[in-house]
Amino acid sequence: MSAQGGNGPRFAAVPLDGGGTTVGEWLAGDRPPPLDTTGCRRLIVVGAHPDDETLGFGGTSAQFAAAGVEVQVVSATDGGAAYPRMSVFDRIRLERTRRSELIKATSSLGLSAPIFLGLPDGAVNEHEDTLTDQLVEILDGAASDTWLAATWRGDGHPDHEAVGRAAAAAVTHSGATLLEYPVWMWHWATPGDPDVPWDRAYAVHLDRSALGRKQHAAQCFRSQFESTATQPAPLPPFVLRRLLAVGEVVFR
């Protein structure tokens, strides 16, 4: 499996304007077995950018919180590099906007206010040790009933993969349980793809309330779904439609 070395080349080979793997293709494939969620008493959800936690794991987070599980969202970056040709001023303004969007989204999911770590968007791999240390601190005293859900180490986006590696390293210093959730995998991979660890994959059944909360929370990230006068939207509308249709899967 190439996930150990990263799936950046796979992601880069499937441009966004091409649409990627369709919903129909994913729904025609085999569904992973259900995730046994009974062992979780505390959930920490780490995203590389504001919106990862909602797009990849928002329904599960909402469902856990509704069941009385303590859920804490952590965003490694403020997402200021979503548009590559921005001035420094506009980037700072975007970071402020994306923090505000995440605060609204977590509220929509029924969660407490998120933690922002402020690492540089697009360069998380250069700060993996720092991120690992920060996650170790957050996990201080955690047992196996604390689950740390992070973007998958093989997701294709370098920041997502760096967050996944840091999370995997952090749990080795605690008793926490690691889960990894894909976001961009649904774009570049295919059912049965050999670069995906399907043997470790589990699906979460989302009830109607959790799915509705996820849909509402996703709409908070307007900065990502709207084009500017000079640049297309970072997340075309079909990305959200696909993520809502395929549901939520984790690697454990």
Q: What is the pLDDT of residues 14-50, one digit of tens each?
A: 999 889 999 999 999 999 999 999 999 999 999 999 9
pLDDT of residue 139: 97
Number of domains in the chain: 1
In a domain, 131, yes or no: yes
pLDDT of residue 116: 98
pLDDT of 4 strictly over 70: no
In a domain, 231, yes or no: yes
Q: For residue 227, name the pLDDT band (cuts at 50, 70, 90).
A: confident
In a domain, 36, yes or no: no
pLDDT of residue 87: 81
Which domain CATH number covers 86? 3.40.50.10320
Distance CA 60, CA 161 (A): 21
Range of the domain at 146: 42-251
pLDDT of residue 44: 98
pLDDT of 1 strictly over 60: no
Share of the chain above pLDDT 90, in %: 88
Task: Write out the DSSP string of the chain.
Answer: -GGGT-SHHHHHTS-GGG--S-HHHHHHSPPPPBP--TT-SEEEEEESSTTHHHHHHHHHHHHHHHTT-EEEEEEEE--TTSSTT--HHHHHHHHHHHHHHHHHHHHHTT-PPPEEEEEPTT-GGGGHHHHHHHHHHHTTT--TTEEEEEE-TTSSSHHHHHHHHHHHHHHTTSSPEEEEE-STHHHH--TT-TTS-GGGEEEEPPPHHHHHHHHHHHTT-HHHHS--SSS--SS-HHHHHHHHHH-EEEE-
In a domain, 151, yes or no: yes
Q: pLDDT tens digit string along 124-165?
A: 999 999 999 999 999 999 999 999 999 999 999 999 999 999
In a domain, 33, yes or no: no
pLDDT of residue 27: 97
Cut 0.85: pTM above it: yes
Who wins on pLDDT, 76 or 5?
76
Dihedral, 183, 188, 194, 199 alpha carbons, nearest 10: 20
Share of the chain above pLDDT 70, in %: 98
pLDDT of residue 24: 97
For range 167-189, the mean pLDDT? 97
pLDDT of residue 232: 83
pLDDT of residue 89: 84
pLDDT of residue 98: 97
Who wins on pLDDT, 25 or 82?
25
In a domain, 13, yes or no: no
Q: For residue 231, name the pLDDT band (cuts at 50, 70, 90).
A: confident
In a domain, 11, yes or no: no
In a domain, 149, yes or no: yes
